[in-house]
Amino acid sequence: MEVEMRKASYAGSMAVWFLASAAAFPGLAAASGYEFDGIGAKAIARGGAVIADDADWTAIYWNPAGLSGVKGREAGLELRGGYSYSKDGNSFTIPLGAGASYSPFGKDRAQAGFVIGSFGAVIPLDGDSAIAAGAYTPLLQGADFRDAAPGDPLVTSLDYEGSVIVGVGNVSYARRLGEKFSAGLGVNVIYGALSAESTIGWGATAGAFVPTLAPVAGMAQKNKKEADGYGVEGVAGVTYELNDRWRFGAVARSGARVELKGEEKVYLNGAYRQQSDFEMPVHHPATTGVGAAWRAGNGVKLSCDFTQTWWKAFSNALTYDSPVGLLNSSGKTYHWKNSYKFRLGAVKRLNGKNEVEAGYAFDTPAIDAKSIDFATAIDVPMHRFSAAWTRTWSPFETTLGALAGAGRRTAGGVDYSLKGWYVMGEARYRF
């Protein structure tokens, strides 16, 4: 973990804050390593390549213009659960300034389970327009890291537990503006909440190696924090039907500024020392995407999408109401770049009640090499493969599928890797 040694009293306290604040929004901040795959098992199984071809309730996420093609009222529920496995060759790394760094821990692997989902409904208003609403959780996960370095002169132990949830509620409207052209608009209300507790054991002679650690040398320092906040973003999309075989689409999300506000408390050797309210603006990134879908015949449909996530403005800056002693405000240290994602999908209708879907997705990393870590993300170029089977049981439709992905990256001479899987299911009811 990167821990910034600042020239302030009790600078060591900033280490614990960074451990927790960097993990504040690992999903929003994670870029490709944890890039959200979208909503709807049927759409995800196609690699998420549905910007141009999505006429169901999940269009609230993929492209609201697709809602205009929904033939009747429907509601849907999707759930997925699985595991991710990551490796950081540096474990939790402490930079000491002037380009030097320190890696006291030997634990370089971590794993985490997760369960997330989405739901929504769409109602056609007439033959040319529809309204929809829904909610989804692009992130619901926790982090747990414990390791010790007995006798180390700087850091002897680290115990970190944290959890974060991001929820999105959406309302969308779409309308046909001509025989071939449709447009849609949506509003996302974003809620984020974090909870974290971290304890770091400082070596008895830490002050001899890093003078600013002298006040906390030999002590166990615990930081506890809770924070939450809201943000609002807009979504706009269009679709164009060139002919019976070709359809194109485009979508854009404005991004949002989610103001996290909360409280942090600090303890030394179990005794309360200081507390302060704080603010941390999370820049939920804007996204843009284009797609195309082709009806190849014989019940086969192929599609492809290209999307970009504008991570460059993401910040980890934070401000304390009482920036003294153990808690000190800090500015942005991230230097991320924008990332892109390429998706391919295929659908094959077997008969009137069954079809199969398959897909592939590739996305690029965004996190700068100095920020890659267990608490932010093991950000690597990721390859994802997915497949599903859909069965119609009128008025129900069910989809069961799975996704698996993996990737590796070397940055600054350090190897990072990430892999994971999940199973997913979706049920739709047409009424």
pLDDT in tens, 120-154: 999 999 889 999 999 999 877 677 788 998 888 88
Looking at the predicted structure, is the pLDDT value of residue 23 above 80? no
Sort strands 181-202 and 220-241 into parallel, antiparallel or unpaired: antiparallel
Q: Provide the pLDDT confidence category of residue 414 given band limits of 50, 70 and 90.
A: confident
Looking at residue 34, what is its pLDDT? 43
Tell me the residue ranges of DSSP E strands in 98-219.
100-102, 109-124, 129-148, 155-176, 181-202
Give the DSSP H/E element, type plus range, for residue 41: helix 41-45
User: What per-residue confidence (pLDDT) applies to 429?
Assistant: 96
Report how far residue 40's alpha carbon sits from residue 35's, in angstroms, rounded to the nearest whole number: 15
DSSP characters for 245-311? SEEEEEEEE--EEEEEEEEEEEEETTEEEEEEEEEEEEEEPEEEEEEEEEEEETTEEEEEEEEEEEG
Confidence bin at 28 (pLDDT 50/70/90) = very low
Question: What pLDDT, on the 0 to 100 scale, is given for residue 65?
Answer: 97
The encoded tokens of residue 366 equal: 């965004």
First-to-last C-alpha distance (Å) of the chain = 51
Residue 221 has pLDDT above 60, yes or no: yes
Domain housing 372: 13-430
- The Cα 279–Cα 276 span in angstroms is 10
Does the residue 200 lie in any domain? Answer: yes
Q: Is a pLDDT exceeding 50 seen at residue 20?
A: no
CB 27 within 8 A of CB 193: no
pLDDT beyond 70 at 44: yes
DSSP symbol at 147: E
What are the pLDDT digits (tens) for 331-353? 887 788 899 999 999 999 999 89
Residue 303, strand partner residues: 293, 345
CA 183 to chain CA centroid, Å, is 27
CATH number at 166 reads: 2.40.160.60
Is-cis flag, bond preceding 395, omega within 30? yes
pLDDT the model gives residue 33: 43
Tokens of residue 7, six digits: 């020239």
Of residues 104 and 386, more confidently modeled: 386
Q: By mean pLDDT, which of 130-134, 279-283, 326-330, 398-402 is the weakest?
A: 326-330
User: Is 2 within the bounds of a domain?
Assistant: no
Residue 4, pLDDT score: 31
The whole-number pLDDT of residue 17 equals: 34
pLDDT of residue 32: 40
Residue 308 · residue 288 · CB < 8 Å = yes
Q: Is the pLDDT of residue 92 over 90?
A: no
Residue 237 clears pLDDT 90, i.e. is over it: yes
User: Is 5 within a domain?
Assistant: no
In a domain, 8, yes or no: no
What is the structure's pLDDT at 351? 94
| Domains contained in the chain, number | 1
Residue 39 located in a structural domain: yes
| Residue 1 belongs to some domain of the structure | no
